[in-house]
Structure 1
Amino acid sequence: MNKDTPFYFSCPDSVEIQVKVDWSLPVTHDVLFHGLVEEDATAYFYAIIAIHEKEWWPYYIGKVFSQSTSQRHRAADHIARIARLREEYPEKTFHISLGTPILKDMHEVPDSETVDDIEGLLIISNWSEKMINKRKVDRFICTRQISLENTGFSEHLYKRAAYGLFWAGE
């Protein structure tokens, strides 16, 4: 088997979470804080990103559920997180991209468990040594199969990710 071998869900009818996450164009925090990002009202996910060797890379992936991203990023722990990134990577200019989930059933609003599961898959499928996410990398557990597609400005992420039971096709 090689890296180009396609994988398929063993039980495709059992994929409980089928989601597209539509990512916004990256902006700096000052733009986000001035209310100039329309997606702030609909996003459940965000990625703190920067250019590394001419490519966008995620340095942190997070979620919001009961507040907007701009509100969450004013919290002390997020202020400290950005300060840590700027200290560790002083040559980088950090941006934020917001992710709005579009579930298979367009009328479905994600609950907190679904948002948590999607965030976990976003983190583990895009994790690198540069990222400061740690908790979900070490402890991601999900009882449901997930199929995820990143759309919009998603240069910092793999286009597709999935979690569940698979078989390899030849």
Structure 2
Amino acid sequence: MSLENIDFYFAWPEAVEVQANIEWTIPSTHDVLFSGLIEADATAYFYAIVSLDKKIWRTHYIGKVYAQSSSRRHRAADHIARLQELQRNYPGRVFHLTLGTPRFDNGIENPDELTIDKIEGLLIYSNWNENMINKRKIDTFNCSRQISIENTGFNQHLCKRSAYGVFYNAG
């Protein structure tokens, strides 16, 4: 049975604790990010490393930042090594970053680190593909809260909507 055309609904929509709309920036190269030209660097909690392959945007890595900016995080040794690994695995591709800034529909103004961590986990789990080099949060996702996220702005590299919780089919 295919689940592609089946509509699912939250069993208890009033119990969805985290409802986020994540606005993604257009892809930019690392040097543009490092030059300070991306305003969302100050507000983004998420980032994705993407590349264009045969006119399709491929996601290679999804990550989060909480206590620092994306531009600072991408200067860290582990991210430099990650980019070098991608360049070895996909010679000739240009890698870009797209930054995601969440807006919360249910009154969350300053999300805590656990909330950001759970959203990152759902982003990785629901968008996993064979091009990704994430090493954690790829096989399991688990959360004590129901979550609904919508990816807006530049979202060609992600599922438009992802959710976690208890669902039903009205059909």
TM-score by length of 2: 0.96
Q: Which residue of 2 aligns with 1:66?
A: 67
Cα shift at 1:10: 1.0
Letter in 1 for 2:128: W
For residues 57-112 of structure 1, give each alpha carbon's deviation from its aligned partner in whole angstroms, at most 9, with x where no partner exists: 11000000000000000000000000000110012110000000000146611110
For residues 95-150 of structure 1, give each alpha carbon's deviation from its aligned partner in whole angstroms, at most 9, with x where no partner exists: 00000000014661111000000000110111001100121113422111100000
Q: Which residue of 1 aligns with 2:79?
A: 78
Unmatched runs of 5 consecutive residues or more in structure 1:
none
Cα shift at 1:54: 1.4
CA distance in 1, matches of 2:19, 2:108: 13
Unmatched runs of 5 consecutive residues or more in structure 2:
none
Q: How many residue pairs get matched?
A: 170
Give the alignment of 1:25-44 within 5 angstroms.
25-44=26-45
Letter in 2 for 1:22: E
- RMSD of the alignment, in Å? 1.2
Q: Which residue of 1 aligns with 2:10?
A: 9
Q: 2:16 touches 2:147 (CA, 8 Å); kept in 1?
A: yes
CA distance in 1, matches of 2:157, 2:151: 10
Cα shift at 1:11: 1.1
* 1:54 and 2:55 are equivalent in the alignment: yes
Letter in 2 for 1:157: L
* 1:132 and 2:133 are equivalent in the alignment: yes
* 3-state DSSP of counterpart to 1:21: strand
Q: 2:18 touches 2:106 (CA, 8 Å); kept in 1?
A: no
Letter in 2 for 1:89: Y
Q: 1:120 to 1:24 in 2, by over 3 A?
A: same
* 3-state DSSP of counterpart to 2:138: helix
CA distance in 1, matches of 2:108, 2:117: 19
Q: Identity percentage over the alignment?
A: 58
CA distance in 2, matches of 1:132, 1:150: 21
CA distance in 2, matches of 1:24, 1:107: 22
Letter in 2 for 1:166: F
Q: Which residue of 1 aligns with 2:91?
A: 90
